[in-house]
C-alpha cells in the first residue's frame, strides 16, 4: 500500500584433503555403500584404488562384504570419492532445528491513516518489501484506505475477517462480505472502505511483479 513505511540439505561436506585419518578401529560393514558410490561416480576398482591408496583386491573384498575395513581405510575411500565419511558408515548428524522467528505484538510495526480511522499492522518481512507486502487492516466505522496506483502488474488480495468492506478499483465498486476474499489490480487508483456499522478487520497481501 502507499502508506507503508520504509524499513528486515545439508550439502555433504567433502573430506578435507589435509585432515588426519581416524584411529585404527573396526567400522560398520560399508561394502554395499562403497560399491554404489563408486559406480555413481563412474569409477572402476582400479581408479578408486589409485585415488585412495587401498589395493584393488582389498576394495573388491570390501564391496563383497568379505572384510570389514578399519576406519582409516574407510576415510581413505571417502576422501577418494570426495564425500563425507558419514555417507559410508551410515552416520547421520542431527538435523539443525528449524529457525522460528517470532515478532511479538509489541514489536509488530503499525501505521495509521491521517484521520486515525485505519490502522495497518505490518506482518510481512522487511527483506521482501520490494515484492511482497502483508498487512492486518483495522478499520474504525467510516474508515478508508485510499491508494494511488502501485507499480505495473501489482495485485492486491484482501480477505475480510470481520465486518464488511468495499473495494473501489478504478471506479468499479464491490462489497466484500465477512470471510470473502477479493483479488484486484492495484496498478490503478484503488480504495478499501468500511461500509459497516462496526469495526472491520482484514488481511491484505500486495504482490508486485
| pLDDT tens per residue, range 74-113 | 888 888 888 877 666 655 445 567 788 888 888 888 899 9
**Residue 83: its pLDDT value, please?**
80
More confident residue, 70 or 94: 70
Confidence of residue 64 (pLDDT cuts 50, 70, 90): confident
Strands 155-162 vs 200-207: parallel, antiparallel or unpaired: antiparallel
Identify each DSSP E strand in the chain by its residue range.
Answer: 110-112, 118-122, 132-139, 144-147, 155-162, 165-169, 172-176, 181-185, 190-194, 200-207
Amino acid at each position: 500500500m502507499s502508506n507503508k513505511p520504509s524499513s528486515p540439505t545439508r550439502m555433504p561436506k567433502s573430506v578435507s584433503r589435509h585432515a588426519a585419518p581416524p584411529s585404527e578401529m573396526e567400522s560398520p560393514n560399508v561394502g554395499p555403500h562403497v560399491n554404489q558410490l563408486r559406480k555413481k561416480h563412474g569409477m572402476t576398482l582400479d581408479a578408486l584404488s589409485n585415488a585412495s591408496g587401498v589395493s584393488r583386491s582389498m576394495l573388491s573384498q570390501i564391496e563383497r562384504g568379505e572384510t570389514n575395513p578399519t576406519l582409516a581405510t574407510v576415510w581413505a575411500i571417502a576422501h577418494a570419492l570426495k564425500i563425507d565419511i558419514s555417507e559410508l558408515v551410515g552416520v547421520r548428524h542431527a538435523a539443525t532445528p528449524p529457525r522460528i522467528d517470532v515478532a511479538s505484538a509489541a514489536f509488530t510495526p503499525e501505521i495509521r491513516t491521517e484521520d486515525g480511522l485505519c490502522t495497518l499492522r505490518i506482518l510481512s518481512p522487511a527483506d521482501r518489501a520490494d515484492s511482497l507486502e502483508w498487512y492486518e487492516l483495522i478499520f474504525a466505522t467510516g474508515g478508508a484506505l485510499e491508494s494511488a496506483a502501485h507499480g505495473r502488474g501489482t495485485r492486491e488480495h484482501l480477505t475480510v475477517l470481520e465486518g464488511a468492506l468495499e473495494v473501489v478499483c478504478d471506479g468499479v465498486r464491490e462489497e466484500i462480505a465477512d470471510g470473502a476474499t477479493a483479488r484486484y489490480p492495484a496498478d490503478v487508483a484503488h480504495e478499501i472502505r468500511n461500509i459497516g456499522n462496526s469495526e472491520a478487520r482484514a488481511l491484505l497481501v500486495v504482490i508486485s511483479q
